[in-house]
Amino acid sequence: MDDVRAGSQWSMMRLRPVVVSVFLTVTVGYYVYTPLPESIQEPWRLMVVSAGLRTSVHLSSVINWLGYDHYIRSVRQLSESFYGLTKSGDSTESGGGVVPGVKVSDITFAGVPVRVYEPPAGGEGHLRRGLMYFHGGDWLLGSAERWSNDALNHMVSDELNTVVVSVEYRLYPEVRFPVPYLDCLAAAKHFLSAEVLAKYSIDPERVAVSGASVGGNLAAAVAQGISTDDAVSVKFSIQALIYPMLQALDFNTPSYLQNQDVPVLYRGLAVRFWLQYLGVDLSLQPQLLVNNHSSSHHVSPELRARVNWTTLLPLRFKKNHRPVAVDKGSQRLVKEVPALLDARASPLLAGPEVLAKCPRAYVLTCENDVLRDDGLMYARRLQDAGVTVTSSHYDDGFHGCFSFIVWPVEFDIGKRLVRGYITWLQNNL
């Protein structure tokens, strides 16, 4: 009997690690697993990325609760370190270091920090392209030095013989709208000056502005500002917008509803980012989610038409969705936060007379992205204003994938988006 009991105990001891391993595996799998659209080609890779971001957010909440640091600054530090996407270390304080084929310099344009990428070719008689790039990150994350942005700008500079200027605009919570926009506008005006273009041997007829996500928001707004400013003699010749975030009046477009739970930009998060950027109390988030801030009593029919997806979207994107219109909503929001109707914050709200002066456009959108319809509506409105637009839509794309081009977050879809972007620049800039 003792032998039987001893054997049973030994079996239990051997079984215990297996049980613990299975339990941990199931627990981790439950935490990581997220239902995703079938069109996404590397679902488990995206689930891991999403889990990493959620972990950063949860840890930041604990750090904030303990009083060690601001919630957003903690998210910024943890998300960057989690994926190893910190400074590339390719430049120095003065003049920059030289990397294969491209010289990188960290300097300032009109007091705004920028990172400049210079290809080896050029000089007198060999004018180069110029491109100003605004990174994404929801107005609170990201930098010109982030590996994904750095890798992208190295490629553009090297392959297209282009001087690329990546702007380090200030972020939330240190600043709010309109500071990031004004930083980008000031840097753009400096870049377009005759003196700077001559210094870098840039052809004034071949200068672009570009950005991804909120960087696309800033690129569109800056393009509008430059195009309508008679004091600026050199204008951007093209604008390239990557799944841009362009309006804060309707958070119930078909893409916001269809993709509200698709990583990495959830519908609730997008609303929160807008509230933070515009300096609005976060407790008002539920009102924006049901469009109480954009009722017919507070927004003119003319403005409403500029974000009316029922007339601006192609039929295949509307599906069976119906517009969420509120007759009586919160007058307090629009009255106390005029930035909600400011085209510098929401470029989709610009009038047709402004859009008509804008440069040719490349607008990239992803099917599995809450911002899909923002980009599609802007492309339509630009075309209606007489601007030549190339719309590039990826059925298997999702928000953020344009930045997922370097290890450890490397996706095939990201590489395809970047390749399409560079090819378009090569043919149009």
Domain-embedded: residue 334: no
- What pLDDT sits at residue 422? 98
**Domain range spanning residue 59?**
43-82
pTM assigned to the model: 0.88
In a domain, 357, yes or no: yes
DSSP 8-state class, residue 243: S
Q: Which of 374, 396, 399, 403 is catalytic?
A: 399
CA 379/CA 373 separation, integer angstroms: 10
Q: Which residues, at least 6 apart from 184, have a Cβ–Cβ distance to it below 8 Å?
A: 112, 134, 167, 169, 218, 219, 221, 222
Same domain, 112 and 158: yes
Distances in Å between the alpha carbon of 2 and those of 7, 12, 14, 295? 8, 15, 18, 79
* Cα 112 from Cα 107, distance rounded (Å): 8
Helix (H, G, I), strand (E, B) or coil at 170: coil
Q: Active site includes 399?
A: yes
Amino acid at 87: K
> Does 137 map to a domain?
yes
Domain co-membership, 77 together with 193 = no
What is the rounded CA–CA span in Å between residue 424 and residue 51? 33
238-242 vs 202-212, strand pairing mode: parallel
Res 7: pLDDT: 55
* pLDDT at res. 32: 72
Task: Write phi, then psi, for 79 (nearest 5 degrees).
Answer: -65, -35
* Total number of domains in the chain: 2
Same domain, yes or no, for 173 and 220? yes
Helix, strand, or coil (residue 341)? helix
Q: For 44, phi and psi rounded to 5 degrees?
A: -70, -35
Please check whether residues 192 and 219 belong to one and the same domain: yes
Residue type present at position 111: G
Known catalytic residue at 213:
yes
Domain boundary among 82, 110, 134: 82
193 & 235 share domain: yes
Q: Does residue 104 sit in the same domain as residue 77?
A: no
**R_g of the chain, CA atoms, integer Å:** 24
Q: What is the pLDDT along the chain (429 residues), one digit of tens a residue?
A: 555 555 555 555 555 554 444 434 444 454 678 899 999 999 999 999 888 777 766 665 666 666 666 656 666 665 565 544 444 444 433 333 345 789 999 999 999 999 999 998 654 558 999 999 999 998 988 877 777 899 999 999 999 999 999 999 999 999 999 999 999 999 999 999 999 999 999 999 999 999 999 999 999 999 999 999 999 999 999 999 999 999 999 999 999 999 999 999 999 999 999 999 999 888 889 999 999 888 767 788 899 999 999 999 999 999 999 998 777 666 677 777 889 999 999 999 999 999 999 999 999 999 999 999 999 999 999 999 999 999 999 999 999 999 999 877 899 999 999 999 999 999 999
The number of angstroms, rounded, from the C-alpha of 225 to the middle of its chain's C-alpha atoms is: 20
Cβ atoms within 10 Å of 422's Cβ, excluding its own: 17
Instruction: Show Cβ contacts of residue 62 under 8 Å, excluding neighbours closer than 6 positions.
Output: none
Which residue, among 239, 251, 259, 261, has the nearest Cα to 340 in the 3D structure? 251
Distance from C-alpha of 5 to C-alpha of 7, rounded to nearest angstrom: 5
Residue written as token pair 């890798």:
151
Q: Are residues 78 and 203 in the same domain?
A: no
415 occurs within a structural domain: yes
User: What does the alpha-carbon distance between residue 272 and residue 336 come to, in Å, rounded to a whole number?
Assistant: 17
Closest CA to 133 of 285, 240, 278: 240
Domain containing residue 395: CATH number: 3.40.50.1820
- C-alpha triplet 403, 391, 304: angle, nearest 5°: 100
Q: Which of 401, 419, 400 is nearest to 411 (CA)?
A: 401
Q: Does one domain contain both 106 and 240?
A: yes
Q: Does residue 54 sit in the same domain as residue 163?
A: no
Active site residue: 90, 138, 369, 396, which one?
Answer: 369
Measured torsion, CA atoms of residues 71, 272, 145, 400, in degrees rounded to the nearest 10: 130
Q: Strand 102-109's sheet: what is its strand order?
A: 98-99, 102-109, 112-118, 162-167, 128-134, 202-212, 238-242, 360-368, 389-398
Domain co-membership, 54 together with 141: no
- Confirm whether 317 is domain-assigned: no
pLDDT at 187: 98
The half-sphere exposure of 340 on its side-chain side, counting CA atoms within 13 A, is 26
Distances in whole angstroms, Cα of residue 213 to Cα of each of 66, 238, 254, 281: 32, 17, 18, 23
Same domain? 70 vs 122 = no
Judge if 192 and 63 occupy the same domain. no
Q: Is residue 273 part of a domain?
A: no
Active site (annotated) includes residue 297: no
Which residue of the set 166, 213, 237, 255 is catalytic?
213
pLDDT number for residue 94? 34
Residue 323 falls inside a structural domain: no
